[in-house]
Structure 1
Amino acid sequence: MSFDLPRNIILPVDAVNVRLDPGPHPFERDNAQAIAENWRRETAANPALFDGTVVLLSALSYRDNSLVGRCHAVRYSTFMLWRGNRQVAGAEHAYAHAMLVAGDNALVAIRMASHTVNAGRVYFAAGSFEPTDFRDGLVDVDFNMIREVREETGLDLAGATRGRRYYALSTATGTVIFRRYRETASADEVAQRISAFVAAEAEPEIDGPVIIRNADDLPDGLMPHMKPLIEWHFAGKD
Structure 2
Amino acid sequence: MTDVVIHRVTGLDFKVEPWDWPFARERHADIAAHFKERQRAIPALFNGRVLLGRDPVFAAGQLRASYFETDFANLLAWRDWGFPDRSVFNGFGMGALRTADGAFVLGVMGGQTANAGRIYFPAGTPDPEDVNDGSLDIAANVAREVEEETGLSPSDYQAGAHWDCVVTGASIAMMRLLDVGSEGEALQRRIEANLATQVEPELSAILLVRSRDDLTATMPRFVTAFLEAQFEDSEALSP
TM over 0.5: yes
| Residue of 220, 223, 233 corresponding to 2:220 | 223
Q: Is 1:32 paired with 2:28? A: yes
**Displacement, 1:64?**
1.8
The match for 2:91 among 74, 91, 94 is: 94
**Structure 2: distance between partners of 1:231 and 1:23:** 36
Q: CA deviation at 1:155?
A: 1.4
Residue in 2 that maps onto 1:141: 138
Give me the TM-score of the superposition, normalised by structure 2: 0.91
Shift of 1:219: 3.9
Residue of structure 2 in register with 1:202 after alignment: 199
Give the aligned partner of residue 50 of structure 1.
46
Paired position in structure 2 for 1:82: 78
Distance 1:164 1:126 in 2: 18
3-state SS, counterpart of residue 216 of structure 1: helix
Q: Structure 2: which 5+ residue stretches go unaligned? A: none
Residues 59 and 91 in structure 1, CA contact (< 8 A), matched pair in contact too: yes
- The question of whether the paired residues in 2 share the 8 Å contact of 1:25 and 1:56 is answered with no
Q: Deviation at 1:108? A: 0.5
Q: Is 1:72 equivalent to 2:82 in the alignment?
A: no
Q: 1:18, 1:139 within 8 Å by CA — same for their partners in 2?
A: yes
Match of 1:154 among 146, 151, 156: 151
Q: How many pairs were matched up? A: 234
Checking the alignment, whether the CA contact within 8 Å between 2:86 and 2:170 is kept in structure 1 is no
> How far is the alpha carbon of 1:31 from its aligned partner?
2.4
Structure number with the higher helix fraction is 2
Deviation at 1:7, TM superposition (A): 6.5
What displacement does 1:27 show? Answer: 2.7
Task: Name the CA distance, whole Å, in 1 between partners of 2:232 and 2:28.
Answer: 46
After the TM superposition, which residues 11-30 of structure 1 pair with which residues of structure 2 at under 5 Å, given as runs?
A: 11-30=7-26
Structure 1, residues 168-187: CA drift from partner, whole Å, max 9, x if none?
Answer: 01111411001101000001
Q: Shift in Å at residue 58 of structure 1?
A: 2.7
* Percent of residue pairs bearing the same amino acid type: 27
Question: How does the TM-score come out when normalised to structure 1?
Answer: 0.92
User: Partner letter of residue 91 of structure 2?
Assistant: A
Amino acid at match of 1:232: A
Amino acid at match of 1:226: V
Q: Deviations over 1:126-172 (max 9, x none)?
A: 10011111211112111011100111111113452121211101111
Q: Structure 1: how far apart are the matches of 2:143 and 2:3?
A: 26
RMSD after superposition: 1.9
Deviation at 1:222, TM superposition (A): 1.7
Unaligned runs of 5+ in 1: 1-5
SS in 1 for 2:13: strand
